[in-house]
Amino acid sequence: MCNMETLSINTVYCGDSVSLMEQIAPNSIALSFWSPPYFLGKDYEEDATYDSWQNLLKSIIALHYNVLKPGGFLVINIADIISFQDENMPRIMGMNPTNRKCDVTKDMILKVQSDFPNYNRKQIASILNCSEQTIDRRMNGNNIRGGKYAAGTHIKLVGGNIENYAYDAGLFLYDKRVWKKDPAWANCKWTTNTLKSVSETEDLYIFWKPGEYIVNRERLTPNEWKEWGHRQIWEIPSVRINKEHPAMFPKKLAYRVIRLFTDERDVVLDPFLGSGTTAVAAIETNRNFIGIEIMERYAEIAKKNVKNAQQSQRLFSYS
C-alpha cells in the first residue's frame, strides 16, 4: 500500500467502497450495517449485470475481514428473493381463466384434433372460431404475444451466495433476523398474473469475525430485550416517502441493529450509505460512523442529514 490516507471517523465519503474500504484502519469497525443495491434496475445500478452485482457483493464482503474488529459484526439487510428478466427462462405464462376473452378450452381443441387428426393449427382455429394464438396458449401455455418480446422472470435466493462470500472471507454466519415491512403492493402486476406472494419481509444476515464480543444487557431496556432484543421478527413500517433516495431503510431498523451490536463510541460502517440513515442513527445513539456512497447526489444528501443530526445531538447534549 503506497501512502494511502486512512479514512476519518464521522465523515461521509463520496466514492467507490471497493477502493475506499482499503483505506479504513484495520480492526477498527465494531459493526458494519448496510443494504446493498438489490439488482432491481434503480438509478444507481442501471449498468449492473447479474455477475457484476454478485461481484460487488463478494468484493465488499471480502473487504470486511480486515476492517472489522475481532468479535465485530457485519449485518446485511437484503430481500432474500430477487427477480430479474432472464432470456434463458422458458416463456410460459400462468393461465388466468378469469381473464379469458375466448371460451375455447384445451378439451375443445383436443376434441377437434381427434376428429380431424390432419388439421393444422390454422384449420383448428377456424373450426373453433378463435385465433391461432388461443390454440397455442391453451395447448402449450405459450404467450406468443407477450412472451415473444419479454424474457421470463428468473427468481433467485441471494442469502446462500452471501453466506458463501462471507465464509470465504473468514466471517461466520451468527444469526438471521427478519424485518417485516409493509407489503409491497407496488408489485401488483406480478401477483395478479401469477401465483406468487407479495413481498413483505427482508432479511438481516448477521456475520461475526472470530474474536471475543460483548453481550451487554445494559444496551437495551428490559422491555426492549423482550420486545425485539430476543425476537427474530422485527415489525417496522417501511419508509413510505422516498423523497431523498429510492431505497431507504427505516431509521428504526438501523437503531435496533446499532444498539444491539455496539456500545457508545464504537465505530459503525455503512459502505452503501445512500441518504445516510445508518450514520444518522449512529450519531443519535452516540456512536461514531464512517459512510461511503458512490453517487454524488446521494452523498450530498447524506452529508446534509449527518450535519443536521450532529447539530441536533449537540443541542440535545447542552440542554
Q: How far is the CB of 268 from ligand SAM (least distance, A)?
A: 12
Q: How many residues does the chain have?
A: 319
Element counts in the chain: helices (H) and strands (E): 12, 10
DSSP 3-state of 30: strand
CB-based contacts of 21, cutoff 8 Å, min separation 6: 60, 63, 64, 67, 271, 292
> Closer CB to ligand SAM, residue 260 or residue 273?
273
Q: Which is nearer to ligand SAM, 72 or 274 (CB)?
A: 274
Q: Is 37 helix (H, G, I), strand (E, B) or coil?
A: coil
- With CB under 6 A as the contact rule, which of the stretches 127-135, 143-151, 206-214, 291-299 interacts with ligand SAM? 291-299
Query: Which window, 31-39, 89-97, 175-183, 191-199, contacts ligand SAM (CB under 6 A)?
Result: 31-39
Q: Pick from 11, 18, 82, 190: which binds ligand SAM (CB under 6 A)? A: 18
Q: Give the pairing of strands 11-14 and 288-293.
A: parallel
Residue from 199, 277, 285, 288 in contact with ligand SAM (CB under 6 A): 277
> Between residues 109 and 247, which has the closer beta carbon with respect to ligand SAM?
247
Given candidates 134, 199, 275, 288, which one binds ligand SAM under the rule CB under 6 A?
A: 275
Q: Which stretch binds ligand SAM (CB under 6 A): 24-32, 36-44, 103-111, 220-228?
A: 36-44
Residue 239: how many other CB atoms lie within 10 Å: 21
| Near ligand SAM by CB under 6 A: residue from 9, 12, 17, 24 | 17
Site for ligand SAM in 147-186 (CB under 6 A): none
Q: What gap in Å lies between CA 224 and CA 218, rounded to an integer?
A: 11
- The reply to whether 247 sits near ligand SAM by the rule CB under 6 A is yes
d(CA 303, CA 281): 14
Question: Nearest approach, Cβ of 271 to ligand SAM (angstroms)?
Answer: 6
Closest-by-Cβ residue to ligand SAM is 274
- Spell out, one character per residue from 187 to 226, where the chain touches ligand SAM: x when CB under 6 A holds, - when not: ----------------------------------------
Is 73 near ligand SAM (CB under 6 A)? no
> Over the Cα atoms of the chain, what is R_g?
26
Q: What is the DSSP string of 225-254?
A: IIIIIS-SEEE-PPPS--SS-TTPPPHHHH
* Count of alpha carbons within 13 angstroms of residue 18, beta-carbon side: 8
Cell matching residue 179: 424485518
Choosing from 32, 35, 285, 288, the residue that interacts with ligand SAM (CB under 6 A) is: 35
Nearest distance, CB of residue 144 and ligand SAM, angstroms: 37
How far apart are alpha carbons 126 and 58 in whole angstroms?
56
The span of 102-110, 146-154, 170-178, 268-276 binding ligand SAM (CB under 6 A) equals: 268-276
Does the footprint of ligand SAM cover residue 248 (CB under 6 A)? yes
**Which residues have C-beta within 8 Å of that of residue 310, sequence separation ≥ 6?**
10, 283
Please choose, out of 1-9, 30-38, 162-170, 174-182, the segment that lies near ligand SAM by the rule CB under 6 A: 30-38
**Euclidean distance between CA atoms 107 and 259, whole angstroms:** 62
152: which strand partners? 86
Task: At 274, list the grid cell.
Answer: 445512500
Q: Which residues in this chain contact ligand SAM in the complex, by CB under 6 A?
A: 16-18, 35-37, 44, 56, 245, 247-249, 271-272, 274-275, 277, 292-295, 298
